[in-house]
Amino acid sequence: MLVSDDINRIRHLVTVVAEADGEQPLNEDAMLALSGDGAGVSHYLFEQDGELAGYAQGNTKHGTAQLLVHPGHRRHGLGSRLLGDVAGLAVWAFGDLPAAQGFAAAHDLTERRRLLVMERPLDPPSGGAFDGVRPFDYATDADQLLALNAAAFDWHPEQRHFSRADLDARMAEPWFDPAGLLVTADADGLTGFHWTKRHPDGRGEVYILATHPRAQGTGLGRTLLAAGLEHLAASGSTSVHLYVEASNSRAVELYERAGFAVVHRDVLYGPTLTRSSDDR
């Protein structure tokens, strides 16, 4: 576990790098992991000239790492050393900036996943009602929401691991709004949920949208999406964005039909996969 002084120094480095690159080098999950319990997470701090010059975080649960180097210390091999610290893990390049592309190419890393950010403006609230959509109730819905999430995202490398601890940590965040977590149910339990997030600057986010496999293909995703967007608009948001796997074509199509367009890309780079004799 990190001591609070190190956490502060890492947060400062993140701010410096974000200002220089116009891109956040650590995602929300990695920022939360700085002060988390540390399960599956390792931290590598690289100091030079009395300051924190680089940081890498490895996450064996996700099989991924995130690393960043202070703009004043780049092109001196620090990034490569940190990459050695998280060897075996694939590395996120948020924004897929030219430096990360060059760095990945230099280490023979190739694209493993591509995460899209999609966005659209939000119309003023219509005042419309959404039949069967109600707010989440922790006491009765928490277990079902986690089971539904695991079933809907059984193919997803990170989201399928979303646990009660993850749920509780996010519900304890200042942005959490119980009215912005909407669910639907049938006689057998929850059929879907749309967790919206309102950022401090007012922007809205489709944080998690999931429908149970037994209810997929019935228009439920579209209804839950619309209900969440209505909630965000009613809360004062004028734009909304979301993250989606480029390979999740059904979801990308749902969002394109709802007026979202791709505005940003994050790429996960990993060691080049070589074909084994079994693949031939």
Ligand X SMILES: CC(C)(COP(=O)(O)OP(=O)(O)OC[C@H]1O[C@@H](n2cnc3c(N)ncnc32)[C@H](O)[C@@H]1OP(=O)(O)O)[C@@H](O)C(=O)NCCC(=O)NCCS
Residue among 19 and 168 whose Cβ is closer to ligand X: 19
Coil vs helix vs strand at 173: coil
Considering only 11, 12, 61, 76, the residue that binds ligand X (CB under 6 A) is: 76
Q: Give the distance, in angstroms, between the CA of residue 222 and the centroid of all CA atoms in the same chain.
A: 21
Cα gap 6→268, rounded to integer Å? 26
Between the CA atoms of 116, 209, 121 and 204, what dihedral angle is there, to the nearest 10 degrees? Answer: -100
- Residue 31 contacts ligand X per CB under 6 A: no
Residue among 93 and 183 whose Cβ is closer to ligand X: 93
- Greatest alpha-carbon span in the chain: 64
Reported in sequence order, the residue ranges of the chain that DSSP labels E, i.e. its strands, are 41-48, 51-59, 64-69, 90-94, 109-121, 134-135, 181-186, 189-198, 204-211, 239-245, 261-271
Considering only 38, 88, 102, 236, the residue that binds ligand X (CB under 6 A) is: 102
Considering only 99, 151, 226, 252, the residue that binds ligand X (CB under 6 A) is: 99
Binding string to ligand X for residues 126 to 165, with x set by CB under 6 A, is what? ----------------------------------------
- Residue 192 contacts ligand X per CB under 6 A: no
- Residue 58 contacts ligand X per CB under 6 A: no
- How far from 118 is each of 47, 99, 165, 217, CA to CA, in Å? 37, 23, 28, 22
Supply the minimum distance, in Å, between the C-beta of residue 37 and ligand X. Answer: 25
Hey, what are 84's tokens? Answer: 């050695």
Sole window of 91-99, 189-197, 232-240, 248-256 interacting with ligand X (rule: CB under 6 A):
91-99
Considering only 104, 118, 208, 209, the residue that binds ligand X (CB under 6 A) is: 104
Residues that bind ligand X (CB under 6 A): 17, 21, 25, 67-69, 74-80, 91, 93, 97-100, 102-104, 106, 269
